[in-house]
Amino acid sequence: MPLYIAREAPKLWRKICTEASAEVSLLSENWKLLLAGLVFQYVHGLAAHGVHYLHRPGPILQDAGFFLIPEIGQSKAYMSESIFNFIFFSFILWTFHPFFFQSKRIYTVLIWCRVLAYLVGCQILRIITFYATQLPGPNYHCREGSKYARLPPPESALEVILINFPTGVLYGCGDLIFSSHMIFTLVFVLTYQKFGTRRCIKQLAWLFAIIQSLLIIASRKHYTVDIVVA
C-alpha cells in the first residue's frame, strides 16, 4: 500500500497542476461572468428579504398537496433542508472532480458559468413572480401570531442591506412563487444529467429531487404551486 501511494501521488499532483493551469486560464477569461452570477445571489437574497416587509399573514390557502401529503410538523422541518444540503454540496464536489480523476467531461469554471447563468435567469423570474403576487406564507413562522410573520419598517438602510442576517435568511416570508430550493436542485440535477457519466447517480439525483419536493410540501414551507412552477 505505501508503495502504491508513493507511485500514484506524483501522478495525482501532476494532474492537479495541469488542471489548475487550464482552469486559471479559463478563469481569467470568464471571471466577470462568475462574479456577476455570485453578486446576483446577494441581489436575490436582498429581494427576498424586501418582500418580507410586504408579507401579510392570513389563512393558509387551500392546497391539493397539503390535502394529499400529511404534515410532518415543525420538529421535522429539517428533513428537506438536509436533503437539499446533501444535493448542494455533492454537486459542488462533483464540479471539482476533474482535478482528481481522469474521466473528464467538464471544466469547472465553464460549468459554473453555465450553472450561474441558469440560476440568475430563474431568480429574475422568481423575483418578478413573488413581487407580483404575495401569498400568505404556510410556514410555521409566517403564520398569524408568529413574531416573524410581519416585519416592522426597517430602522436603517443597513438593516435592509445586511438582510437582517441571520434571522432574515432563516425566517423569511413572502418569497413563495416559486421555490428557490427547487431552482437550485433542478439546475444541479439537470446539469449532472447532461454532463455526468454515472447513470445510477443520475437516477439517484432525480429520486432525491422528488423526495425533497414532497418534504417541502409536507413541512409546509411552500404551496404545491411553488414546486410545480419551479
Active site residues: 181, 222, 226
Return the SS3 of 145.
Answer: coil
Instruction: State the virtual CA torsion across 118, 119, 121, 126 in degrees, nearest 10.
Output: 140
Nearest to 184 by CA among 36, 45, 30: 45
Nearest to 44 by CA among 161, 160, 137, 124: 124
First-to-last alpha carbon distance for the chain, in angstroms, is 49
Measured distance CA(228)–CA(230) in Å, rounded: 5
What would the grid cell of residue 71 be? 404534515
Quote the distance between the C-alpha of residue 200 and its chain's center.
22
